Structure 1
Amino acid sequence: MRTKLTYTLTIIIATLNLSCDSYLDLKPEDGTIREEFWKTKEDVQAAVIGIYSAMLNTPPSESDLTLAEYTFMYGELRADMVSPGAFMSDDQIDMLTSNILPSNTLTTWSQYYRIINYCNTVIDLAPSVLQNDPTLTQVKLNNFLSEALAIRAYLYFTLARSFKDVPLKLEATLSDQDNFQLPVSSQADVFKQVVADLTKAEGFAVETYNNIPETKGRITKNAINAMLADVYLWQENYEDALIAANKVINSGSFALINASPQWFNTVFARGNSTESIFELQYTTQNLNPFYSIFLQRPQYLASPLVLEGVFGVDFEDPLNKDIRGERTSLVPGTNEIYKFTGLNTEQRKALSESDTHWFIYRYADVLLMKAEALNELGQGEEALNIIENIRLKRAAIDETAQQIALDDKAGIRLYILAERSREFAFEGKRWFDVLRNARKENYSYLNILLAVALKSAPANQQQSIIAKMKDSNSHYLPINENELFTNKALVQNPFYK
C-alpha cells in the first residue's frame, strides 16, 4: 500500500524529470535560477525533491546510467563476488578484470557531479527564500539544507573511495562564466569536507518525517550518523566511528528481524522495514533498473564461488541455510542475482512491479561498522558478540562460523569482512570493504586485497593483476579522458599515465 507521500513524491519526481534541467542544469543561462525559481518554500522543497529524483533516475535526454548502477559497478566489479553475464559490455568486463583505461566510459563521474551541483544550488540559493516567503522558517530551511549537505557528502565520499583524489566544488554552477577548471583535492581533504558537511547536517536534520517511506527515503539524523560512522572508519578514527554508530543504535528506531520465510519480502522486496536506515525509493510508477541488468538481459551474475564460499552449504542437511544466500542474494545453478528482482523466496516480481529499493544503509551495516571500530580499539569480545547476534538472526550455518581468540584483532577483522560479504552481497559495498581493510595502517593489510584479486582473476591474468594491485594507485579508477580534455587543471592518476 502506497502512502500519500509516496504518491506526492512520484508526481513531483515525474514533473522534475521533465523540467529540472530548466532550472538546475549544470550550465544554466545566466540569471535564470534566481529570477524564475527561488521565490517560495515550495520552490525549495521541489528543488530538494529534485535531488532525490536525480539519484533515482537517468539524466533526461542523456545516455547515462543511474546512480545505483554506478555504485553497484564501483563497489562490486573489482571485488570477488560478480561474474560476467551474457550482456556484459566490454567496458564492464575490463573493470571486472582490472583492465581499466581512461577511455572506459564507466569511469565518467558526470552523474555524481550533476547531482552535487543540484545540492550546491540548494545550499547556495535556498537561504535567500527566507526574505521572499514568510512561511519558510529558519528551522524548515535548515531541514532542507541538511538533506542537500548530507547527499553532497555521500556523493563526494563515494567519489573519493572510487577515484581517490577528485575536484571539490562547493559552490553552485549558476553561470557560463563560472570556473570549470578545477584541480583535484586529496582524498584526505575530501574526507574532511565530507565530515564537515555531515556534522553540520546532523545539527539541522530531522529525526523522522511524517511517515515511513519519507523517513526511510530522505535524509534523517540516523542516516547522517550511519554515513559518519562509515567515513570515520575510512579515516581510521575509530573512537568517533563508535560514537556515530552508537547514536544510530541508541535511537531505538531500528531492529534486526528474526529469520523467517517472510524476511526476504519484508527487508528487500517491500523495503522500509525496521532494518532500513536510508533507501532510494523506487516505486511501481518509477521502476528500478535492476530487472534488466540482473534478469532480462543479465549483465551481471553471482560468481560460481559465492554460494558455497560466502554463505556455506550444509551437505548433511540441505534445508539448513543462511537466509541471506539461496533465493535471497542469488539463485543456485544459474547464479542469477536475485536480491533486487525477487518477491519472495519462491517468486520473482513482474517487470511492472520492479520497485525494489537501492539500499544505501541498513541497520546491520551500522552494527558491523560498530564491530569494526570496537575491534580496532581492542574490544574484540564486544565485536564478536555483534557478529554472533547478526549470525543468529540470519540463521547462518556452522560451516561459516569461526572460533577466534578475543585478542586476535587480525582474525576478527577478517571475520567481520566475511560477515559483511554475506550481509551486503551485491549491494555495492564489497570492493569498498576490502579496500578499507587493506589500506589500514598504511596498507599493512594489502594481503587482504591481493587474496580477493587472486580469487576472482582469470588464471591467465592472475600474475598481471597481482602486479597491478601492489601499486596502491591501481585501487582507484582513472580520470576519464573526456574529463581531462574539458578540465585542463586535472592530472591523471599516476597509475594510468
Structure 2
Amino acid sequence: MKKTAYLLLSVLCFGLVSCEDYLDTDSASYLSPDIVYNSIAYTDQAILGIYAQLPQDQIYGSRLQFTYGSGSDCDTYGTSNPTDTKNSGLANYNGTSDNTAISKEWDAIYKTIEMASVAIDGIRNSELLKSGTVDEQAQMREYLGEALTLRALLYFEVVRNFGDVPFKDEPTNSDGSNIYLPATDRDEIYEHIIADAEEAAGYLPWLESSANVERVSKGFAYGLAARMSLACAGYSMRNLPGFPLKTPDFSVQKSYYERALKNCNAIIKDPNNPHGLEDTFAKVFDNQTQQKYGEKSEDLFEVGLGLGLSGEVGYTSGVRFYQSAIYGRNNSVQVVTNAYYLYSFDRDDMRRDVTIAPYNYNKSGTEKEEMFSNLYEFTFAKWDVRNLKAYITQNKEATNKLMTGINWCIMRYSDVLLMAAEANVWLAENGGDGNLGEARAYVKEVRRRNFSDALQATKVDAYVDNASDLMQVIKDERMFEFGGEAIRKFDLIRWGELSQKVAEYRTTLKQMYAGEYEITLPELVYFKYNSDGSTIDKSSVDYFGENGVPEGVEGKDWDSVNWFKKKDTDIAKASDKIDAILGGLDKVYYCRHLFPIHESTISSSQGKLSNSYGF
C-alpha cells in the first residue's frame, strides 16, 4: 500500500502542539489564510495537516477504535480488572470525569476540528475558488470536500461518545467571542454534519487507486453521511429527566432512513462506483496487515499510519503472542472476544476463523501455538502482525513498544451494502419507499463469499429469501462481518439493544460453563498442527465435539485443549468474572453508553458546560 499521505504527514505536521502551528514548514511557515488558501500547494499542505492529526493515539492511533469503540457482546477491552475506572474502565462503562484520558481525546479531536474549520473558511473565501482557472477551482473544491468530510467525521465521534457537545461551524474568532459555548443538541449537530458530508461528496472524486485511500473520496463521504443518518435515526441516551433512550419523532426518524438509503444508493448505483467486495473475507485483512490495497477497492477510507510511528492494530487488537526469538517483543492485546461470539457464527461461515483467534503464541517460547482456554478472552485474528515481516524484523530488535503502522479502516464497502439493506427494510416496514428485493440482494452479496459453492443455495439464497425477520438477519450479518472493527457497539446503541445483548451474552456464557447451553459443548477440543508444526490447521478443529475422539490421538497426530470442563469451582469463578464484564453499563442508569466530560474542561468553560446522564 502506497503511503503517500502519511509519509508526507509525518514530515510536515505529526504531533503538533497548537492549531496555529499546522503550517509550520519551510515553505509555508505562519502564513496568513489569505496567502495559504490562494495557493494550491499551501492549501494541500494545510489539508494534509488535518490528516496528520488522525494518527495520534488519542484519535485513530488507538483510542477511538479500541478504548471507545469496543464494549459490546462481541468485543470488549480487557476483562482483567473490569471495575477499573482509569484504563479499561472507559470501555467497561466505568469512566469518571477525573479520568485524564477523556480530556486528551476531547482536546485532540477539537483541535483537529478547529484546523478543519480554518481550512473550510479559508477555502470558501479563496479567490482561487471563486475566480481561478477551471482546474484550480476544481482542485480547491476537492480540498473543501476533504476538510468538510474530516470535520464531520470528528464531530460524529464526539457526539456518539459524549452526546450533546459544543458545536460551531466556523473557526475561532480572533476576539475569542465563540470559544466558550454551551452544548448543542445532537440532532442539530447531526443535521449540520450530514449536510456537510453530502456537500463534500459533490466535490470529491471517486477513489482512483491505492495512492489515495488515505484521503477521503466521494464514496466515503456518501458512506459517512449514511452512517451518521442511521445514528441520528436511532436510539441514544438523552439529556432529559431520567436520561431515557430515545429516537427522534417518527417523521424525523423516517426522513433519516430515507437519507441513509439515498446516500448508500449514490455509491451502489453510480456506474462509476469503483468499490466492490474482495473475493474472500480473509483477503480484506491480509491486505490491511500486509499494507496492500485490494483489487476490488473494498476499503473506502483508511487512516494512514506508519511502522514504528503510530498505530496499534495488531498490537492492542490482534493475535496475542509472547516474547520469543521468533517474533521479538510481545504485543499487549486488550481487545478481546469470547466463546459466545464464536458459537454465534454458522459453523460453515468462513468469517469465524478469520475473525476469532482462540489461540495465542505459547508463553514457553517454543515454536508451537496453543489453543487459548480462557473462553471469555479470545482475541481477534483479523490483524496478525506475525505475518507482517517488516514489523517482526524490527520487533526482534525493539527494546520498547513498537507501533505496527497497520492502517485503520474507517469504512468498508460491505458496510455500505448492509446499511442500504437495513434502510430498505426499515422503510418497507414503516410505510416508506423501501425495496425488499434490493435488501435481500445486498445481504446475499455480503454473505456469498463466506460460504462454499456447495452451500450457496442453502446458506445464502434460502437463508435470506426464507427469513421471517429480514431485519434481524441484517443485524446478525453486521455482527458476523464487523467484529472487532469498532462498529458493533454503536450498532447496538442505535438499535436500542446494547444492554439486552450484553445481558444475553453474559447469560449464554454462564450457561456454556454450567453445561446448560442449548447444545452440549465438548470438554476437550481436538486439533492438528499444520505441516510447519507451529500453526493450527483450522479445518481440523471440532468446536462441537461431534466427531468424538479422533483416531491417532495416542500417536500424537492430534492435540487437545481443555474446553468446557465442568468443575463447580471453575463455574462459580467464571460466573463472577462474566458478571463483571462491562459491569458499568447498567450501574446507575439504563444503558449509559456515553462518557462524562472531563472536570478540567468543565472548569475552564466559564460555566457553559456541565456533566449530565447521571455523571
TM-score normalised by the chain length of structure 1: 0.80
Gaps of 5+ in 2: 24-29, 234-252, 321-329, 360-370, 373-377, 395-402, 429-434, 510-575
Q: How does 1:88-487 map to 2 (within 5 A)?
A: 91-108=86-103, 109-130=106-127, 137-173=136-172, 175=174, 177-209=176-208, 211-214=209-212, 216-234=213-231, 235=233, 236=253, 237-251=256-270, 252-259=273-280, 262=283, 264-266=285-287, 268-273=289-294, 274=296, 275-284=298-307, 286-294=309-317, 295=320, 296-305=330-339, 308-312=342-346, 314=347, 322-332=349-359, 333-334=371-372, 335-342=378-385, 350=392, 352=394, 354-378=404-428, 379-380=435-436, 382-395=438-451, 408=468, 411-438=469-496, 447-448=500-501, 451=504, 458-461=577-580, 467-468=586-587, 471=590, 474-487=592-605
Alpha carbons 1:281, 1:358 under 8 Å: kept: yes
SS at match of 2:352: coil
Bigger Cα displacement from structure 2, 258-267 vs 72-81: 258-267
1:61 alignment counterpart: none
Shift of 1:137: 2.3
Residue 226 of structure 1, CA deviation: 0.6
Q: 1:146 and 1:42 mapped to 2: Cα distance?
A: 16
The question of whether the paired residues in 1 share the 8 Å contact of 2:79 and 2:581 is answered with no
Give 1:72's aligned residue: 66
Query: Which secondary structure does the structure 2 equivalent of 1:94 belong to?
Result: coil
Q: Deviations over 1:409-464 (max 9, x none)?
A: xx43332222212211111111101001117xxxxx97456546767995555897
Provide the secondary structure at the position in 2 that maps to 1:241.
Answer: helix
Aligned partners of 2:467, 2:459: CA distance in 1, in Å? 20
Residue in structure 2 matched with residue 442 of structure 1 by the alignment = none
Report the alpha carbon displacement of residue 158 of structure 1 after superposing the two structures with TM.
Answer: 1.9
Secondary structure in 1 matching 2:13: helix
Tell whether the 8 Å contact from 2:589 to 2:614 is kept in structure 1 after alignment: no
The 5 Å alignment of 1:46-61 reads 46-58=45-57
Structure 2 SS opposite 1:302: strand
Name the SS of the counterpart of 1:336 in structure 2: strand
Q: Quick check: 2:34–2:122 contact (8 Å CA) kept in 1? A: no
**Is 1:495 aligned to 2:614, yes or no?**
yes
The C-alpha deviation readout for 1:130-155, integer Å capped at 9, x for no partner, is 36996782222111111000111111
Q: Structure 2 CA distance, aligned partners of 1:97 and 1:422?
A: 22
Q: Distance in 1 between matches of 2:480 and 2:259?
A: 26
Counterpart selection for 2:20 from 19, 23, 29: 23
Query: In structure 2, do the counterparts of structure 1 residues 494 and 90 end up closer, same or farther at CA, with 3 Å as the change threshold?
Result: closer
Q: Against the structure 1 CA distance between its residues 406 and 158, is the aligned structure 2 distance closer, same or farther, given a 3 Å change threshold?
A: farther
Q: 1:11: how far off? A: 3.0
Greater Cα shift, 225-234 or 257-266: 257-266
**Counterparts of 1:258 and 1:463 in 2: how far apart (Å)?**
36
Measure the CA separation in 1 of the matches of 2:10 and 2:419.
Answer: 33
Greater share of residues in helix? 1
Instruction: Specify the code of the residue in structure 2 equivalent to 1:419.
Output: E
Residue identity opposite 2:421 in structure 1: A
Contact 1:329–1:426 (CA under 8 A) maintained in structure 2: no
Show structure 1 runs of 5+ residues with no match: 59-63, 315-319, 440-444
2:444 counterpart letter in structure 1: E
Following the alignment from structure 2 to structure 1, what is the Cα–Cα distance between the partners of residues 281 and 490? 30
CA distance in 1, matches of 2:85, 2:69: 18
TM-score, length basis structure 2: 0.66
| Larger deviation, residues 137-146 vs 9-18 | 9-18
Distance 2:218 2:312 in 1: 28
Q: What is the DSSP-based 3-state SS (H/G/I as helix, E as strand, rest coil) of the residue aligned with 2:206?
A: coil
State the 1:400 CA deviation.
9.1
The answer to whether the Cα contact below 8 Å between 1:17 and 1:53 also exists between their aligned partners in 2 is: yes
Change (3 A) 1:223 1:40: same
Residues 9-28 of structure 1: per-residue CA shift (max 9 Å, x gap):
513432222668473469xx
Whether the 8 Å contact between 1:435 and 1:449 is mirrored in structure 2 is no
Residue 231 of structure 1 aligns with an amino acid whose one-letter code is M
**2-structure distance, mates of 1:228, 1:79:** 26
Q: Is the 8 A contact 2:451 2:459 kept in 1?
A: no
Contact preservation (8 Å) 2:9, 2:51: no
- 1:276/1:464 CA distance change after superposition, 3 Å: closer
How far apart are the structure 2 equivalents of 1:292 and 1:266? 17
Q: Is the 8 A contact 1:372 1:413 kept in 2?
A: yes
- Give the distance between the partners of 1:258 and 1:131, measured in 2 at CA: 43
Equivalent residue for 1:40? 39
| Counterpart for residue 317 of structure 1 | none
More off after superposition, 141-150 vs 81-90 = 81-90
Alpha-carbon contact 1:23-1:32 (below 8 Å) kept: no
Identity value in percent:
21
Deviation per residue, 1:274-305 (Å, 9 max, x gap): 21111112244754223442453425142222
SS in structure 2 of the partner of residue 56 of structure 1: coil
Equivalent position amino acid for 1:471 in 2: Y
